[in-house]
Amino acid sequence: MSEAVTSAASAAPVLVARDIRKVFGALVALDGAEVSVAKGEIVGLIGPNGSGKSTLLHVISGRTPATGGTVTLGGRDVTRAKPSDRIRAGLSIKFQLARVYLDQTVADNLLLAIQSQAPLVSLMLSRSRAAAASTIDELLEGFHLTHARSQLARELSHGEQQWLEIAMAMALKPTVLLLDEPTAGMSREERLATGERIRAARERCGVLIVEHDLDFIRGLCDRISVLHQGKIIASGTPAQIEADPRVQEVYLTRV
């Protein structure tokens, strides 16, 4: 792995996944993959279909237990922690397939994210959604969803559901934000707007973003890692990655 990278962040990494292995039966989905993200940094993760990108995010978030390797969040080993504990330790994830609460309103979906770490007793007693209202308004505005505030999430378009999910992920105020294909199914303008929101989020956290769209990721990321058959085969600035012959070889079959 090339370490001669001009990283935007000099700070200690907020996320380190080291030597991750994941085996599904006979299939080796991840074979010693590694990735690290520092505060204020946007790291891209690319690779052909089935190369293990989503699986890596699932291992980091605790959705899938790793077969081997370690995950640390802000210096704390969370390899065996439950998802909810990782979230409480500062992680946040947007899944590849938008997974919002279809039968709740857009505002309630956001409320669910905003209040998720409040004590249960206070949730039972205070029906006052007032405290969260201004945060909800901000998020709605930032993601162009103000008009949909009291609509059910199932009434949103595909792109809007993606936005809602990204907004929920950001509402957790994470220190590490994992985004799996945030712009899938979006129009060009929607992609641009999404890019803006991600850039705005970097001030508070490190971002790890899985994308197929190189045009989108080129302007956004400080660093890009390329996953191929469960291994990181290259890592560097967008320019370095695009010039890398190994990457071109892997990608020749697609795009």
Ligand X SMILES: Nc1ncnc2c1ncn2[C@@H]1O[C@H](COP(=O)(O)OP(=O)(O)OP(=O)(O)O)[C@@H](O)[C@H]1O
147 binds, among ligand X, another protein, Mg ion, none (CB under 5 to 8 A by kind): none
Does residue 115 interact with another protein by CB under 8 A? yes
Phi, psi (rounded to 5 degrees) for 94: -110, 120
Does residue 53 interact with ligand X by CB under 6 A? yes
Stretch that binds ligand X, among 45-53, 135-143, 154-162, 197-205 (CB under 6 A): 45-53
**Distance of alpha carbon 58 from alpha carbon 107, whole angstroms:** 27
Candidates 1, 12, 19, 50; binder of ligand X (CB under 6 A) is: 50
- 14: which strand partners? none
Each residue 63-102 as x (binds another protein by CB under 8 A) or -, in order, gives x------------------xxx--xx----x-xxx-x-xx
Candidates 40, 44, 47, 182; binder of ligand X (CB under 6 A) is: 47
Stretch that binds another protein, among 29-37, 113-121, 228-236, 245-253 (CB under 8 A): 113-121
> Closest approach of Cβ 227 to ligand X, in Å?
7
Residue number with CB closer to ligand X (1 or 27): 27
- 13: which strand partners? 38
Dihedral sign computed on CA atoms, order 163, 57, 220, 176: positive
Residue number with CB closer to ligand X (33 or 106): 33
Candidates 126, 146, 187, 248; binder of another protein (CB under 8 A) is: 126
Site residue total, another protein (CB under 8 A): 37
Which residues lie near another protein (CB under 8 A)?
61, 63, 82-84, 87-88, 93, 95-97, 99, 101-104, 108, 111-113, 115-118, 120, 123-127, 129, 152, 158, 168, 172, 184-185
